[in-house]
């Protein structure tokens, strides 16, 4: 019998709300769940701080059409939440049924960063939208997840890139095995990932993939020695990448560079831990 920790590790958790980034995160997470044959767990967070703010007597709602202000109460906020949660559940149901994967959906009230951190414990992967409030910037929940989430993390911008395949970066000995294992699992998808391998790890990569199912579908490309972020971005553009897979200990995985890739460059980034 599977333990509770083992059951948690068999799921991909994705935060879903009304934003374009979260809906794209849902689609990519569902694709990953289908390829990895794991359960998709949707999560809608009712932000506790918003509920407190809505209880203040001076809070008003300004309507976009008329510009008129009217009272906005906690009851109004909770009705709004219920409608958004219903839309999120419907989107999750459609995504899961289209891929024939098991799914679940939960609504949790709390501070979003803390709720996501707790939900990610022992999960195989956690996905969420970038939550950008300004060009070139991640939202506060996405930034918190970068430093506090223990599971693999998928961060997704609001718009889908035109590319079809992931680029999997193999540039660190510590994380190479995990990146190669994920790339191999995705090799059976319509567009197998491209392996972008540091020259020093080429022999390791060949040995690790030897006899691995799907390895024959993975194409390889050398990462230039001492390549910096602009060179990596140029490769992603030239290869029409859908997104980037990299180890959490990659030199490209520090929060500032991930923020540039996701919020500025518009690529989904999957940090593998």
The residues, any chain, with a CB within 8 Å of residue 21's CB and separated by 6 or more, are: 129, 130, 131, 132, 156, 157, 158
- C-alpha 187/C-alpha 174 separation (Å) is 22
The CATH number of 165-272 is: 3.40.50.620
pLDDT for the residue 70:
62
Residue 44 near residue 99, CB atoms below 8 Å: no
Residue 194 near residue 269, CB atoms below 8 Å: no
The DSSP secondary structure of the chain, one letter per residue, reads ---HHHHHHTEEEEE--SSHHHHHHHHHHHHHHHHHT-EEEEEEEEEHHHHHHHTSTT-EEE-TTT--EEE--HHHHHHHHHHHHHHHHHHHHHHHHHHT--EEEEEEEE-HHHHHHHHTTT-SEEEEE---SSTT---HHHHHHHHH--SEEEEE-SS--S--EEEEEE--HHHHHHHHHHHHHTTTSSSPPEEEE-GGGHHHHHHHHTT-TTGGG-EEEEPPTT--HHHHHHHHHHTTEEEEEEETTSTT-SHHHHHIIIIIT---EEEE-
- C-alpha 247/C-alpha 41 separation (Å) is 23
pLDDT for the residue 63:
57
- C-alpha 190/C-alpha 137 separation (Å) is 32
In the chain, which residues fall in CATH 3.40.50.620? 4-55+76-156, 165-272
Question: pLDDT tens, position by position, for the chain (273 residues)?
Answer: 333 444 445 899 999 987 889 999 999 999 999 999 999 999 999 888 777 666 666 555 555 555 555 666 777 778 888 999 999 999 999 999 999 999 999 999 998 889 988 888 879 999 999 876 556 688 888 888 888 877 899 999 988 888 889 999 999 888 888 998 899 889 888 888 999 998 888 887 777 776 666 667 788 889 988 789 999 999 999 999 999 999 999 999 999 999 999 988 899 999 998
- C-alpha 148/C-alpha 161 separation (Å) is 27
CATH architecture label of 4-55+76-156? 3-Layer(aba) Sandwich (3.40)
pLDDT for the residue 135:
62
């Amino acid at each position: 019998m599977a333990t509770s920790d083992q059951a948690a590790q068999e799921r991909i958790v994705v935060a879903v709300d009304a934003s374009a980034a979260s809906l794209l995160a849902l689609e990519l997470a569902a694709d990953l769940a289908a390829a990895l044959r794991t359960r998709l767990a949707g999560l809608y967070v009712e932000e506790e701080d918003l509920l407190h703010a809505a209880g203040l007597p001076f809070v008003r709602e300004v309507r976009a059409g008329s510009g008129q202000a009217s009272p906005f109460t906690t009851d109004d906020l909770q009705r709004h939440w219920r409608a958004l949660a219903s839309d999120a559940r419907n989107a999750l149901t459609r995504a899961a049924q289209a891929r024939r994967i098991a799914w679940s959906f939960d609504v949790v009230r709390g501070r979003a960063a803390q709720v996501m951190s707790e939900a990610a414990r022992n999960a195989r992967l956690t996905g969420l939208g970038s939550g950008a409030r300004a060009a070139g910037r991640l939202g506060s929940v996405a930034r918190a997840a970068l430093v506090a989430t223990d599971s693999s993390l998928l961060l997704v911008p609001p718009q889908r890139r035109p590319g079809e395949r992931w680029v999997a970066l193999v540039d660190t000995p510590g994380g190479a095995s995990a990146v190669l294992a994920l790339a191999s699992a995705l090799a059976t998808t319509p567009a197998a990932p491209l392996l972008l391998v540091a020259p020093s790890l080429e022999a390791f990569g060949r040995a690790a993939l030897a006899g691995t199912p799907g390895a024959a579908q993975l194409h390889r490309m050398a990462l230039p020695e001492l390549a910096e972020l602009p060179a990596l971005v140029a490769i992603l553009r030239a290869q029409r990448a859908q997104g980037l897979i990299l180890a959490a200990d990659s030199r490209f995985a520090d929060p500032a560079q991930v923020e540039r890739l996701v919020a500025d460059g518009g690529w989904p980034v999957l940090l593998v831990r």
